Amino acid sequence: MTYYSFSEPALNTFSSTLAKAYQQNSTLLDTIQIQVQSLEQILDSALPKNTHIDFLSIDVEGLDREVLESNNWDKYQPKVILIESPEKSLESLVQNPIYQFLKALDYELYAKSMRTLIFKKSINTTSDRLKVS
């Protein structure tokens, strides 16, 4: 997979579409070919069998949804997931593919900062979650 490295590191990405857009305002320094693995493969190789994950942070330069989709959710269900999102308003989250994907897996949006979403595995309580519908 091609990784695009820019003079402004915050713009580094795996997305060719984003890389083209970023080149209008920033200098592309390099493209690097990187071998990738699915999240399931990484967790299988890094964790002892039957390990439960409390906290998972995903930041993969524009392919966060694809990484989520590469997990085996029957095997690995973190209690809390932190992930980047370009959405600035809570209202726009309803259309966000990451929000929809995790909601379908019974995760609830627990908190949001400027570009970060925190999801918590549902335990069927409503008193401590942020609602978006």
What are 36's two structure tokens? 């990738």
Burial of 99 (0-12, 13-18, 19+ CB in 10 A): buried
Q: For 53-70, write each residue's pLDDT tens digit.
A: 999 999 887 789 999 999
Cβ contact 102:132 at 8 Å? no
What are 46's two structure tokens? 């890094």
Cβ contact 93:51 at 8 Å? no
> What's the pTM value of the predicted model, to 2 decimals?
0.80
What's the chain's Rg over C-alpha atoms? 16
Domain parsing of the chain, residue ranges: 2-33, 39-121
Q: For 4-45, write each residue's pLDDT tens digit.
A: 999 999 889 888 998 999 999 999 999 999 999 999 999 999
Give the pLDDT band (50/70/90) at residue 132: low
